[in-house]
Amino acid sequence: MTESSKDVDFCDAFHAEVPLPEWAVGHADGQYVLGAQLPTRDGRRMGNAHIISTLSPANQCEAEFNQFTILTDAGTEMVMNGRELAECFYPPQYVSDVKEVLRKFSLHD
């Protein structure tokens, strides 16, 4: 068994034992993926948010170069890159349904 397969086995076992919160549809495992719930680092600056869309520039696969549209729990929509997300939020652990996030937090009807 390789080192990376041990990591995968551990993650699979961990996810199997820990139930998702009722609003989550999956695990983000620290990755900036569509629907990722972003827990704020400093609530005085910005609240929690979700990634509601992503844009990857041509030939760029590194998260710090990608553009992410986020929606905060207060209904504010912003575009940030991966570096900015890392500065403002802890690594995401869970993924939400984007349609449900928009229904619940968007100020636009």
H runs (alpha helix) in the chain: 3-17, 82-88, 98-105
pTM of the model: 0.77
Please report the sign of the dihedral spanned by the C-alpha atoms of residue 63, residue 64, residue 68, residue 72.
Answer: positive
d(C-alpha 87, C-alpha 80), whole Å: 10
Note the pLDDT tens digit of each residue in 24-59: 999 999 999 999 999 999 999 999 999 999 987 655
Residue 108 has pLDDT above 60, yes or no: yes
CA-CA distances (angstroms) from residue 76 to 11, 13, 81?
33, 36, 16
- The pLDDT, as a whole number, for residue 97 is 94
